[in-house]
């Protein structure tokens, strides 16, 4: 736990718990929200091959997850941590020019 707190630059165990809760809620919510969005786009399991449906749904989860991570981080009082986390992730994906 000590190494994780040092790596993330946080001071309390409570912050670690809150961060894990935010990650869990965000992952579950983004997976749940992706279903209706895919259906709204007209892509359903009934009319689309599984080889297309699942990759589209998984690719859709990624941007939904990014937005929800910031929202839930803010709600739980950890906006600064998650904003820094988000910027680091987007820089690694090559989106640095959009962050500065």
Model pLDDT, residue 95: 76
Mean pLDDT of the chain: 91
Model pLDDT, residue 90: 85
| Full residue range of the structural domain in which residue 10 is found | 2-98
Binned at pLDDT 50, 70 and 90, residue 32 comes out as very high
- Which of 62 and 98 is assigned the larger pLDDT? 62
Q: What stretches of 1-100 show up as alpha helix (H) in DSSP?
A: 2-8, 13-40, 50-75, 79-92
Number of compact structural domains in the chain: 1
Residue 43, token pair as written in the block: 């892509």
What is the crossing angle of helices 13-40 and 79-92, to 10°? 60
CA distances from 74 to 71, 79, 91 (A): 5, 4, 21
68, 78 contact by CB (below 8 A) = no
Residue 32, token pair as written in the block: 């749940």
pTM of the predicted model as reported, rounded to 2 decimal places: 0.84
Distance CA 69, CA 79 (A): 9
Q: What is the CA radius of gyration of the chain?
A: 16
């Amino acid at each position: 736990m000590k190494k994780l707190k040092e790596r993330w630059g946080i001071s309390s165990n409570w912050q670690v718990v809150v961060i894990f809760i935010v990650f869990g809620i965000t992952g579950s919510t983004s997976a749940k929200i992706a279903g209706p969005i895919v259906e709204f786009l007209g892509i359903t399991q009934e009319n689309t091959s599984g080889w297309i449906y699942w990759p589209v749904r998984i690719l859709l989860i990624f941007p939904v997850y990014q937005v929800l991570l910031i929202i839930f981080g803010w709600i739980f009082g950890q906006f600064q941590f998650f904003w820094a986390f988000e910027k680091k992730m987007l820089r690694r994906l090559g989106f640095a020019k959009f962050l500065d």
